[in-house]
Amino acid sequence: MPDASHTVPRHLDVAIVGGGLAGLYAIHRLRRLGLRVRAYEAGSGVGGTWFWNRYPGARCDVESLEYSYSFDAELQQDWKWPERYGTQPEILKYVNHVADRFDLRRDVQLDTRVKSALFDSKANEWVIKTDTGEEIRARYCVMAAGNLSTPRVPDFRGLQGFNGKWYHSGLWPHEGVDFSDLRVGVIGTGSSGVQMIPIIAEQAKHLTVFQRTANFSLPARNVPMPAEKERAHKAQYPARRAAAMETPFAIGGYPKPTRSALEVDKAERDAAYESKWQEGGSISYLYAYTDLLVNKASNDTASEFVRNKIRAIVKDPRTAELLAPKNHPIGTKRLCLDTNYYETYNRPNVALVDVRSDPIDRITETGLELESGTAFELDAIVFATGFDAMTGALNEIDVATSGGAVLRQHWEGGPLTYLGLMVAGFPNMFIVTGPGSPGVKTQMIASIEQHVDWIADAIDHLGRHQLDRIEPTPQAESEWVSHVNQVADSTLYPLANSWYMGANIPGKPRVFMPYVGGFDRYKRHCDAVAAQGYQGFTLSRHETVAA
């Protein structure tokens, strides 16, 4: 690691934290304004999520023709996605192609973790320090550090003494892992667990899955990209992208539902669910009726349909019942997509263990032990236990101001933002797809582009009006947080203990973090705020003192 502790600070217009999909687009977009920008990335390569999450079976659960950048017409025409849903290696290849094609690499500094960001009010600059000892001074700071980028291994006793190897889905070794002939334990059955379990089961001598919460999963129905589908999609790409902007999930191609699930009889409903089940994909299923995420009785019909599918697929009735989720409505935890997930439990080398009724007590030298004393011999343990979502990455950085504000303290009771884009008391710091934004509930790249475009327009607006400081008013922030909560409370989302609520991290405040009013509504609101002269923000000019 270079020791740059004695080098002079680097001066930028915009410092970007993160070199994933958001950081890269921010470089591209902000450079076009003529700004000096640079992104700081902890990994040794670009790609963020897709750089780190290399576990077996890692694949996007949004179709690739949608889950891709829209900002360049030629890029989206040229790139050929080989399958309906991109695998991690394919998506990482795509991100690297984008970095080269738009000459972004020269402004990404790899192997550099941002440790602190202090707003120097007098100089009107963010002072950023890295683990390489560098100091960067920038007028604006864009936090593009990701929502699911702080992997979390539960605090089990004994892990350090485990004789086998252990892994976390989000920190997977680049050289891959060979589980042949091993007794493997996977802890966690969220999106990552559901994707890796069928593949590890094929390799391992024996696989034990430790499940705390059964999750709903639908078949992805991945296929090689049908040539005609690709041709038709690309022929209408701009219109399809525009149509996606008018949907709650920023994903186009699904007919808008018009009826409540309770307006039709059971036979018709089940036929609709069956057709969605055969089609594959989560949005399609949740879009079957207008009210699946807001009306518990409607949701029950969709939940029970999937539970019955699980009962039909899994041969052992006790295992099937354990896998059939009963403690949350379908869609209120992230709905998983899988390939042969439930079928995997019919394999003779796979066992499911319920760690809700009998939690994991400790990791032993040779495996793990439950509170009841039941022990499992394991050669490898995989933690598919998720992330300190949405706030983890920012809270790991010491974000503060010279006036004494500290972000961790400001967010002690849960994250507070205005539009998910800025925080009161922290001027000139923007967040991409942060808490209070719909990002994680949408096609993420669409949200990234919308957020970064909004941020770029705001910075441009300031420059054109000889202004150099923007921050939300405390009132606008508090009203937005109330609105986010009200919208969440009008849905079924709060009924689940999900990472949306911070529920997976012991001690984290239980606050519903994403905005679930829909991407379409959110975008219109952001546009209106900007059109009304950045309503809810204070824009000002500061006589700056040279550092």
Of the pair 386, 517, the CB lying nearest ligand N01 is at 386
Residue identified by tokens 């003192």 is 545
Among 411, 499, 512, 534, binds ligand N01 (CB under 6 A): 499
User: What is the size of the binding site for ligand N01 (CB under 6 A)?
Assistant: 27
Q: How far is the CB of 373 from ligand N01 (least distance, A)?
A: 17
Q: Which helix (H) or strand (E) holds 528?
A: helix 519-531
**Which structure tokens are listed for 493?**
């989302």
- Give the other-Cβ count within 10 Å of 461's Cβ: 15
Q: Among 17, 128, 187, 207, indicate the residue that binds ligand N01 (CB under 6 A).
A: 187
**What is the spatial distance between Cα 87 and Cα 64, in angstroms, rounded to a whole number?**
9
Using CB under 6 A as the binding rule, whether residue 145 contacts ligand N01 is answered as: no
Footprint of ligand N01 on residues 51-70 (CB under 6 A)? 59-61
Write the binding mask 369 to 408 for ligand N01: x where contact by CB under 6 A, - elsewhere.
---------------xxxx---------------------
Is 164 or 463 the residue whose CB approaches ligand N01 more closely? 164
> In this chain, which of 56, 188, 252, 367 binds ligand N01, going by CB under 6 A?
188
247 interacts with ligand N01 by CB under 6 A: no
At 330, list the tokens: 């379908």
Beta-bridged to residue 382, according to DSSP, are 167, 186
Q: Is residue 355 involved in binding ligand N01 (CB under 6 A)?
A: yes
Supply the angle between the helices 237-245 and 519-531 in degrees, to the nearest 10.
Answer: 80
76, 88, 109, 191: which one binds ligand N01 (CB under 6 A): 191
CB of 164 to ligand N01, least distance (A): 18
Q: Which residues contact 209 (CB under 8 A, 6 or more apart)?
A: 185, 186, 189, 193, 197, 350, 351, 352, 353
What six digits make up the tokens of 318? 């006790």
How many CB atoms within 10 Å of residue 404?
Answer: 8
Cα atoms in the Cβ-side hemisphere of radius 13 Å centred on 546: 0
In angstroms, the first-to-last Cα distance of the chain is 26
- Least gap, CB of 334 to ligand N01 (angstroms): 3
Which stretch in 113-121, 207-215, 295-303, 392-400 sits in contact with ligand N01 by CB under 6 A?
A: 207-215
Residue 425 or 434: the one with the smaller Cβ distance to ligand N01 is 434
Q: Which of 54, 212, 233, 441 binds ligand N01 (CB under 6 A)?
A: 212
Q: Does 193 bind ligand N01 (CB under 6 A)?
A: yes
Q: The tokens 């490898």 sit on which residue? A: 380
SS3 300: helix
The packing angle between helices 444-464 and 21-31, to 10°, is 30
Kindly write out the interface string for residues 297-336 of this chain, putting x where it contacts ligand N01 by CB under 6 A and - elsewhere: -------------------------------------x--
What is the helix (H) or strand (E) element at residue 354, kind and residue range? Answer: strand 350-354
Rounded to whole angstroms, the Cα distance separating 39 from 42 reads: 10
Binder to ligand N01 among 56, 190, 425, 436 (CB under 6 A)?
190
Contact 199, 62 (CB under 8 A): no
Among 169, 208, 299, 450, binds ligand N01 (CB under 6 A): 169
In the complex, the residues that contact ligand N01 under the rule CB under 6 A are 59-61, 148, 154, 169, 187-193, 195, 210, 212-213, 334, 337, 355, 360, 384-387, 499, 504
